[in-house]
Amino acid sequence: MCGITAHVAESDSLRSLLTCLQNLEYRGYDSAGLALLNGSEVRVTKSAGEVESLKQRVTNGDLEGEIGIGHTRWSTHGPPTDENAHPHTDCTGKIAIVHNGIIENHDQLRESLQARGHTFTSDTDTEVVPHMIEELLGQCESTAAAFRSAVDKLEGSYAVAMVVEGDHRVYASRSGSPLVLGLGEDSQYLASDVPAFLEFTNQVIYLQDGDVVVLSPDGYRITDLDGRPLERTVETMSWSPEDAQKRGHDHFMSKEIHEQPTAIRQAIEGRIDGDDVTLEEFPPGSFADVEAVQFVACGTSYHAGLYCEQLLGEWGVPVSTHFASEYAVSSPPVDGNTLVVGVTQSGETADTLEALRVASEQGARTLAVTNVVGSSAARKCDDALFIRAGPEIGVAATKTFSSQVTTLTLLGERLARDVTGSPTEGHESRLSALQSLPEQVESVLAASDAEQLAHRYRDSRSHFFIGRGPSFGVAREGALKFKEITYEHAEGFPAGELKHGPLALVTADTTVFAVCSGREESKLVSNVREVQTRDGPVVAVAPRSASSLLEVADDTLTVPATHPDLVPVLANVQLQLLSYHSAVALGRSVDKPRNLAKSVTVE
């Protein structure tokens, strides 16, 4: 959830560290801080608030150094205050630590350290680490050994980085939280995610659980917790530095909404050959032994799973979708013929990784559908399929949803052919429509009325999103996007469930968005009239061919007619624009909504 970074160079690291922290703010923006080795002294500066507040504190030139660490925080232990901001130090102030994750045994460690005379100045779990290393430095043969010994005692998830007075190195390790090493021509970087340092280098090493890395001015060394050397593959990222910039948009969310045509093209590139699906990772027969499919995911990824559950069910594949956070504590039966698909943009979502671990231990085959090649999910699952969306910075996921649905649809076609023994009904027209989807998204972006409707309904007290079939997943996603960035009440329901409870909440101040693929038009018209009878205004989000629904609705957001299985993707673009323009009209923090972070790497 938090973002950590480090830089080792032959010149001053302050500017690079501040850039990395600003690039990581999507992971947390409650507070930020830096620790630099200024000569042989560790200098720490930190501040509650966003990185800009920290930047203002260090612009007077009294903080400099060639080696440093930084942190931008999403609060878990302790409120967002100057005291709780990272880095944290030991009693002497000579050791500074930044940390992402949750140290589950910090209470016991703190009590033990306090009993031995250590004084703590924050409420965080992180502060136990520098105090542990303070003791271990006097017991171990080297700083590296003391660092390894300390992290080996931590329970829970962590990515930590450390600097020590008089030692011109950065020490770091990870377990359950992401940490990436970036290799520049004359410097090294560490960060929670690649976009942090993408403008400086595209040569990366994805560190694995239990890895310990030591960065020095002349290079790096990776070992395990026992100090044994390890070799890790250097990968070249295809993402460009411009991918992580706003490119003239006011917000990353706007930029990423408008990048969806490109993201979808990348998702299907080389994967459709005429009327056949050609997944390089999964040739025909790859899933011949699969008897059931389970999607596990959180948030937006869960809604992508719901969407494709409907498609797979119609195609004859036994399928279900589960909240990853619940799967780990109450998992359904699985066996060697069950395929458990973890859908996760980052590949580091803690709940999804735990669900995949549980499924694997019970004998299921696991598959990660993710955006990040070297992510934990991609490494730990039996197989991986990449959505190719490029970096997504805005906390509210947009282009990754479209890419997930596109990729899962292609995966579903392969699954259905292998499981049922025959292609899906109408697969030719569906695959043809999939190839036309980028141009249709472009037409929605060019002609949307979402901004006008955002202003028209900005005073509504509640916002309901309804749909049937795959449109239900989009209704849920539309409601999530709306509540995430507008802070207004929004809920998504199956359209037929309105009369089983939610209708009691409908008034003239309740705007209902009815999402239609074209198949369920007549039933949706009936639901719309139920709302209007209670004075609720209805906005139809539907293809232009759904004339009876469009005629009865109070307002419309139309999309081009295409295969009904894909219309909800276009409808979702309209709902993303609606949420975006509503948040802007209300003066919300679009890219950094309150209480939320991009990658949820703690359970």
Residue range 323-380, pLDDT digits in tens: 999 998 888 999 999 999 999 999 989 899 999 999 999 999 999 999 988 889 999 9
- Whether the Cβ atoms of residue 492 and residue 479 lie closer than 8 Å to each other: yes
Cis peptide before 333 (omega within 30 of 0): no
Cα-based angle 103, 108, 113 (whole degrees, multiple of 5): 100
How far apart CA 89 and CA 131 sit, in angstroms, is: 7
- Whether the Cβ atoms of residue 396 and residue 487 lie closer than 8 Å to each other: no
Rounded to an integer, the average pLDDT of 252-261 is: 95
Domain 448-603: give its CATH superfamily.
Glucose-6-phosphate isomerase like protein; domain 1 (3.40.50.10490)
pLDDT in tens, 513-559: 999 998 888 889 999 999 999 999 999 999 999 999 999 999 999 99
How far apart CA 484 and CA 492 sit, in angstroms, is: 13
**What is the set of active-site residues?**
2, 598
Rounded to an integer, the average pLDDT of 410-425 is: 95
- Give me the pLDDT at residue 362, please: 96
Share of the chain above pLDDT 90, in %: 74
Cross-strand partners of 180: 191, 206
| DSSP at 248 | T
Per the model's pLDDT, the better-predicted residue between 596 and 424 turns out to be: 424
Cα-trace Rg, the chain: 25
CATH dotted code for 3-243: 3.60.20.10
- How high is the mean pLDDT of the chain? 92
Domain span(s) for CATH 3.40.50.10490 in the chain: 261-443, 448-603
- Confidence class for position 598, pLDDT limits 50, 70, 90: low
Rounded to an integer, the average pLDDT of 89-98 is: 94
Ranges of H-type helices in 234-335: 252-258, 260-268, 299-314, 324-327
pLDDT at 602 > cutoff 60: no
Range with the lowest mean pLDDT among 25-34, 108-117, 472-481?
A: 25-34
- Give me the pLDDT at residue 601, please: 55
- Whether the Cβ atoms of residue 3 and residue 193 lie closer than 8 Å to each other: yes
- Give me the pLDDT at residue 2, please: 82
Look up residue 276 and give its amino acid: D
CA 534 to chain CA mean position, Å: 38
- Whether the Cβ atoms of residue 87 and residue 71 lie closer than 8 Å to each other: yes
How far apart CA 603 and CA 598 sit, in angstroms, is: 14
Report the chain's terminal Cα–Cα distance, integer Å: 10
- Give me the pLDDT at residue 516, please: 96
| DSSP at 229 | B
How far apart CA 408 and CA 427 sit, in angstroms, is: 14
What SS3 state is found at 170? strand
Closest CA to 9 of 269, 190, 194: 190
- Whether the Cβ atoms of residue 537 and residue 457 lie closer than 8 Å to each other: yes
Would you tell me how many other CB atoms lie within 10 Å of the CB of residue 526?
12
Residues 6+ apart with CB under 8 A from 480: 299, 300, 303, 490, 492
Cross-strand partners of 98: 161
Look up residue 337 and give its amino acid: N
How far apart CA 464 and CA 456 sit, in angstroms, is: 16
- In angstroms, the Cα distances linking 281 to 277, 278, 460, 490, 526 are 11, 9, 47, 39, 44
Rounded to an integer, the average pLDDT of 99-109 is: 90
| DSSP at 426 | T
Cis peptide before 438 (omega within 30 of 0): no
Rounded to an integer, the average pLDDT of 114-120 is: 91
CATH dotted code for 261-443: 3.40.50.10490
Domain span(s) for CATH 3.60.20.10 in the chain: 3-243
Backbone angles phi, psi at 89, to 5 degrees: -125, 170
| DSSP at 82 | T
pLDDT at 54 > cutoff 90: no
Closest CA to 143 of 172, 186, 103: 172
- Give me the pLDDT at residue 506, please: 93
Rounded to an integer, the average pLDDT of 375-400 is: 93
Closest CA to 124 of 146, 107, 148: 107
| DSSP at 241 | G
| DSSP at 592 | S
Closest CA to 583 of 510, 483, 456: 483
- Whether the Cβ atoms of residue 160 and residue 35 lie closer than 8 Å to each other: no
- Give me the pLDDT at residue 592, please: 87
- Whether the Cβ atoms of residue 308 and residue 295 lie closer than 8 Å to each other: yes
Q: What is the pTM of this model?
A: 0.85
Closest CA to 514 of 434, 574, 428: 574
Q: From the DSSP assignment, how many helices (H) and strands (E) are in the chain? A: 18, 26
- Confidence class for position 78, pLDDT limits 50, 70, 90: low
Q: How many CA atoms does the CB half-sphere of 598 hold within 13 Å? A: 29
Structure tokens at 361: 């231990």
- Give me the pLDDT at residue 67, please: 93
Length of the chain: 603
- Give me the pLDDT at residue 116, please: 92
Would you tell me how many other CB atoms lie within 10 Å of the CB of residue 473?
27
Token pair 């999402």 is at which residue? 515
Share of the chain above pLDDT 70, in %: 97
What's the sign of the alpha-carbon dihedral 235, 241, 242, 245?
A: positive
Structure tokens at 86: 């990272």
pLDDT at 77 > cutoff 70: no
